[in-house]
Amino acid sequence: MKQQYKSYEESKEFLFECMKNYPDIITIQSIGKSWEDRDILLATVSLNVAYANLKPALLFTGTVHAREWIGNELGIEFIDYILKNYKNNPEILKTITYNTLYLVPCLNPDGFEYSRTHFSFWRKNRRNNGDGTYGVDLNRNFSVGYNKSKHTSSNVYSGPKPFSEPETRAIKGFVDTHPNITIALDYHSQGNVFFPAHKFNHEMELEGTDLNTLCANMNYHINKITGRRYGINRGKPPTKLISGSGREYYYSKGIISAVVEVGTRNIPDYMQNMTESINENIPALLYALGEAKNYSPHSPQRVDNFHLVEFDAHGCKLAWDYPEDPEIYFEIYKNKNNKMACNDASLRGITSGHEFIDENLDSGTMYFYYIRAVHKLSQTKSPIAPKVKFKTLLEDNEFSRTIFPKKSNVGYVAQKSPEANIGHFGVNSLKVGVSEGRGICYCVMQIDLDSIPKNAQIVDAKFSLYPLNRVSAKIEKYGEWSLSIMDSNTIADIRDFD
């Protein structure tokens, strides 16, 4: 039988059934009521659940936006996965022994039901605004950067004041009274992208590397299941930041937090896409749950002053400060790309000293180093020190050039508009792919190699393209990409599609 999304009632029944069957592992509570008097349910999952509040915790929130059904479904499936497997899977057992999961599958039950039964594209809650309009965007109703607006009919109406809504008050009340929460993940759809939190006014912070690495390591687990790689995008100036969002509220309380945008539609077809999204996100969630203990006040403190002492073409020396402690050692990770996972595959060295020498590096290459302190017995890790990033020197007989094409030399040629093709150069938006109006569109760019000495031997050349989709994330897979190099002398006329 074709599986369908669970309703609010079905989800509620499922949760209480779990509590009946696994009373030592899961409890269900209502953290508040919605406008239409529905309970906002929170599941607590942990081994010996009576002691759950004493352990470091991950907070999961789903379906804050009514039409983003993935959150509710993923939350329910994650609980089901833990309960069905913890007895036979030592990794899950270990994770719920030392960490607690607080999970709100649906923070917006009224909106969710309205979306399911009346208007699937509904986004807000169901407050009666008193002027014939309904709803507040809950993810604009938190206090950090709250932006008052009068447009009650807007899809992003922020409500009369911060926490004016029973749904946001409910989660605030829970978070404020549970200081053991160390990580918060807010599940939305769509985009296949992580949006880690940022300080609203871009104040100094130490947690930037933690935020990106948590997402990168989750991404590694997603990639293992489906081969997909989510984007990781932190808002930086001058990006317009989201006012009054849950993510920034949690981060303002010292919680490592991120929004995860799952899938490529708000409400994907269940069988084709939804099950794939769930399957890839469950191992990522399990990893994140296991990280909760590494961010508690009882975990080792973060390494101070992690820095580069010296480097040349093939090696480097790194050093850091840490109080003398025989129970602590350090893990050093190395990546050649930013926002890549720090895990067994990238672990470069272990030492209990306060410096590290790395050799056999490639010349003229970017490297990223990361460090965590680890407690020998408990294996609890520290947060990650801000990363060290540098490019190794070149050998005496080497040179490198980074060459960008001029804007006027970048454009596209479209099958159905041969006369207009020359006008497609120098514009910002390149159309690549197939569309009804333009037919097949290729990107064309001309790169001037005059700055390279005539007698140079080119040993390595890289060609980088950063295609963007509508949420400014790197696109993952859109059919086949192919590149070819053309001699400009053979292109008679760029307007000629052939």
- Interface contacts to Zn ion, rule CB under 5 A: 65, 68, 188
Helix (H) or strand (E) holding 283: helix 275-291
Q: What is the DSSP code (8-state) at residue 193?
A: E
Determine how many CB atoms are found less than 10 A away from the CB of residue 4.
Answer: 11
Nearer to Zn ion, 12 or 188 (CB): 188
Cβ(263)–Cβ(189) under 8 Å? yes
Q: How far is the CB of 377 from Zn ion (least distance, A)?
A: 42
Instruction: Tell me the torsion sign for CA atoms 145, 146, 151, 152.
Output: positive
Q: How far is the CB of 119 from Zn ion (least distance, A)?
A: 16
How many degrees, rounded to 5, is the angle at CA 394 between CA 465 and CA 350?
85
Q: How far is the CB of 68 from Zn ion (least distance, A)?
A: 5
Q: How far is the CB of 63 from Zn ion (least distance, A)?
A: 9
Residue 355, beta-bridge partner list: 319
φ/ψ (deg, to 5) at 111: -65, -40
Q: How far is the CB of 397 from Zn ion (least distance, A)?
A: 54
Q: How far is the CB of 111 from Zn ion (least distance, A)?
A: 11
Nearer to Zn ion, 55 or 188 (CB): 188
Nearer to Zn ion, 188 or 302 (CB): 188
Q: How far is the CB of 318 from Zn ion (least distance, A)?
A: 40
Helix (H) or strand (E) holding 388: strand 388-391
Distance of CA 117 to the CA centre of its chain: 30
Nearer to Zn ion, 65 or 127 (CB): 65
Nearer to Zn ion, 188 or 334 (CB): 188
Nearer to Zn ion, 65 or 334 (CB): 65
- Starting at the earlier edge strand, list the strands of the sheet with 328-335: 347-351, 328-335, 366-375, 388-391
Residue 8 to residue 250: CA distance in whole angstroms? 25
Cβ(427)–Cβ(459) under 8 Å? no
Nearer to Zn ion, 27 or 139 (CB): 139
Q: How far is the CB of 64 from Zn ion (least distance, A)?
A: 6
Nearer to Zn ion, 62 or 386 (CB): 62
Amino acid at 9: E
Nearer to Zn ion, 92 or 193 (CB): 193
Q: How far is the CB of 328 from Zn ion (least distance, A)?
A: 41
Q: Angle, nearest 10°, between helix axes 275-291 and 208-226?
A: 140
Q: How far is the CB of 363 from Zn ion (least distance, A)?
A: 45
Q: How far is the CB of 153 from Zn ion (least distance, A)?
A: 19
Q: How far is the CB of 263 from Zn ion (least distance, A)?
A: 11
Determine how many CB atoms are found less than 10 A away from the CB of residue 255.
Answer: 21
Nearer to Zn ion, 26 or 144 (CB): 144
Residue 171 to residue 368: CA distance in whole angstroms? 37
Residue 138 to residue 11: CA distance in whole angstroms? 21
145: left (phi over 0), alpha (psi -120 to 50) or beta: left
- What is the DSSP pairing of strand 100-104 with strand 57-62? parallel
- Quick one: which of 284, 329, 286, 311 has its CA closest to 390? 311
Q: What is the DSSP code (8-state) at residue 105?
A: S
Nearer to Zn ion, 68 or 110 (CB): 68
Residue 331 to residue 121: CA distance in whole angstroms? 47
Nearer to Zn ion, 191 or 300 (CB): 191
Distance of CA 75 to the CA centre of its chain: 17
Determine how many CB atoms are found less than 10 A away from the CB of residue 440.
Answer: 13
Q: How far is the CB of 108 from Zn ion (least distance, A)?
A: 10
- 475 HSE (CA, 13 A, CB side): 13
> Which residue sits closest to Zn ion, CB atoms considered?
188
Residue 393 structure tokens: 């020197």
Q: Which residue has the tokens 């929004």?
A: 259
Residue 239 to residue 16: CA distance in whole angstroms? 43
Nearer to Zn ion, 6 or 188 (CB): 188
